[in-house]
Amino acid sequence: MMARSNILNLSEFMQGLIKRNPGEKEFHQAVEEVAASVIPFINERPQYIENQILERMTEPNRTIIFRVCWEDDRGNIRINRGYRVQFNNAIGPYKGGLRFHPSVNLSILKFLGFEQTFKNSLTTLPMGSGKGGSDFNPKGKSEREIMRFCQAFMTELSKYIGEHLDIPAGDIGVGVREISFMFGQYKRLKNEFTGTLTGKALEFGGSLIRKEATGYGCAYFTEEMLGHQGDSIEGKTCLVSGSGNVAQFTAQKLIHLGGKVITLSDSSGFIHDPDGLNNEKLEYIIDLKTNRRGRISEFAEKFKCKFYKDKKPWSVKGDLAFPCATQNEIELSDAKQLIKNGCKALSEGANMPTTHDAIDALNKAKIIFAPGKAANAGGVSVSGLEMTQNSIRLAWQREELEQRLKNIMHDIHQQCINYGTEKDHIDYVKGANLAGFVKVAKAMLAYGVI
Ligand code: NDP
Ligand code: 2IT
């Protein structure tokens, strides 16, 4: 006989989760959003309740925390904390990025790993979920310091990952430079050449379009949502936050699709360029942030536009909003500004950039809202395609990869429609959560009690 067969209640479920994971507020936030969609669904499908699928899905399979010791340029010994949260491998090996940022802690990595479960399920590719990183701050470090840190980090991480086990990639503070240092160290330690990291440089197994994929995917997803309503990005004014990998290529594709991108930001403030970015300005940003690691205010000086110190771009009037920096960067007050200014849609390039109360306000105002697990899934999708290319020892052409990325974003949109169609609108949060959930849940049910 089954040990349990009753109805789940959201607030009781959350009380239990909070008790088991005290103080992890970002993790609580990410779980609550999913549980609010999933609980009404599984209450009508007893096999999920009896088998405690949601309880199992909210407990990582394995969490690894380790010391990272390295030497700075002056010979001082430095100590950071490294993590890998291997969240769920029901539908494929653990897969997800590494974040290097001083704010990194277990709560943030658990929220990211948890969301990755649903995102990776939506991609249609066979990938489980994971996330990792360190509280290491790359800002102001020399190339050699970055290299020594990455090597020390990988020396420990290498014991827990592998091409069939866990395949990390980049996230905040981890781009092709860091992936290269880590891949070099992994290859040296393991004495093998396998595609155990994605986001590699093209010369050693990287994929075309990977660097562009998250941003391009986010723009494609937005085009799908607007297209579903008979509208498009063409002629729309776009607010983008961040100026790193995701922001850069979201902006680039929005411009290709006829949008006018008038803002970008970093952790020191935002720039407002009413004329809109063009290719020349974007090249400058990519060089500034990726190669020279400068501040966004330098853009304002160079192109004579306004820089707003310590402010976010959400008070500027625009049709479409693309938060592409970090979690909780759109709070209720920001959402109210967007609503007041006639914003039509918001698409999350970042992971969980919008708070719950802000999402509620946007929904009430009938603003189309695309959650990150759908809108930013293009990055991990092309990571999945990089894994495929590494396995078959081939490199596909740009056109083929771009078409596959487009198809995947279209499929994700279709899954959101299948599970999120309401009387008078599409609930993309519900659609993404349920579609992502069902595939993983079915696999977990099939395995029995594991
Ligand atoms: P990058 O490190 O390339 O860029 C991050 C950008 O966000 C920078 O402009 C940075 O400013 C800003 N930022 C970071 N932290 C903060 C903060 N606490 N407050 C204000 N601004 C901040 O990272 P990515 O572009 O790769 O990642 C951006 C977001 O997209 C993250 O949420 C990430 O999880 C998500 N994402 C990334 C994917 C990828 O493939 N890279 C895939 C899917 C989602 P500054 O330069 O001042 O630090
Ligand atoms: O949040 C994400 O999806 C990423 N940072 C990309 C993960 C990956 O494995 O490419």
- pLDDT (tens digit per residue) in 233-254: 999 999 999 999 999 999 999 9
Containing structural domain, residue 82: 62-193
CA distance 128 to 108: 18
Question: Is the Cβ atom of 113 under 6 angstroms away from ligand 2?
Answer: no
Of 159, 193, 227, which one is at a domain's C-terminal end?
193
Ligand 1 centre to CA of 348 (Å) is: 12
Q: Which of 104, 116, 161 to mutate to test the pocket of ligand 2 (most atoms within 8 A of CB)?
A: 116
Catalytic residue of the set 110, 131, 211, 253: 131
Closest ligand 1 atom to Cα of 264:
9
**Same domain, yes or no: 215 and 341:** yes
In a domain, 336, yes or no: yes
**Same domain, yes or no: 189 and 226:** no
Helices 378-392, 106-122: crossing angle, 10 deg rounding: 70
Ligand 2 centre to CA of 7 (Å) is: 34
Pocket around ligand 1 at a 6 A CB cut-off: 103, 170-173, 214, 242-247, 266-268, 324-326, 349-351, 376, 379
**Same domain, yes or no: 345 and 316:** yes
Q: Does residue 187 have an active-site annotation?
A: no
Q: Report the SS3 class of residue 422.
A: coil
**Same domain, yes or no: 216 and 354:** yes
Residue type, 441: A
**Same domain, yes or no: 82 and 173:** yes
CA distance 84 to 97: 10
Instruction: Give pLDDT, residue 4.
Output: 56
Ligand 1 centre to CA of 199 (Å) is: 15
In a domain, 391, yes or no: no
CATH of the domain at 163: 3.40.50.10860
Q: Are 197 and 179 in contact (CB under 8 A)?
A: yes
| Closest ligand relative to 161 C-alpha | 2
Question: Is the Cβ atom of 198 under 6 angstroms away from ligand 2?
Answer: yes
pTM: 0.98
Number of folded domains in the chain?
2
In a domain, 137, yes or no: yes
Of 370, 400, 415, which one is at a domain's C-terminal end?
370
CATH of the domain at 226: 3.40.50.720
**Same domain, yes or no: 221 and 301:** yes
Ligand 1 centre to CA of 202 (Å) is: 22
CA distance 220 to 402: 11
In a domain, 15, yes or no: no
Number of H helices, E strands in the chain: 17, 12
pLDDT in tens, the chain (450 residues): 455 557 999 999 999 999 999 999 999 999 999 999 999 999 999 999 999 999 999 999 999 999 999 999 999 999 999 999 999 999 999 999 999 999 999 999 999 999 999 999 999 999 999 999 999 999 999 999 999 999 999 999 999 999 999 999 999 999 999 999 999 999 999 999 999 999 999 999 999 999 999 999 999 999 999 999 999 999 999 999 999 999 999 999 999 999 999 999 999 999 999 999 999 999 999 999 999 999 999 999 999 999 999 999 999 999 999 999 999 999 999 999 999 999 999 999 999 999 999 999 999 999 999 999 999 999 999 999 999 999 999 999 999 999 999 999 999 999 999 999 999 999 999 999 999 999 999 999 999 998
Instruction: Give pLDDT, residue 6.
Output: 79
| Closest ligand relative to 326 C-alpha | 1
**Same domain, yes or no: 100 and 216:** no
In a domain, 384, yes or no: no
In a domain, 341, yes or no: yes
Of 130, 165, 193, which one is at a domain's C-terminal end?
193
CA distance 298 to 307: 9
**Same domain, yes or no: 156 and 224:** no
In a domain, 229, yes or no: yes
Residue type, 96: G
In a domain, 252, yes or no: yes
**Same domain, yes or no: 240 and 342:** yes
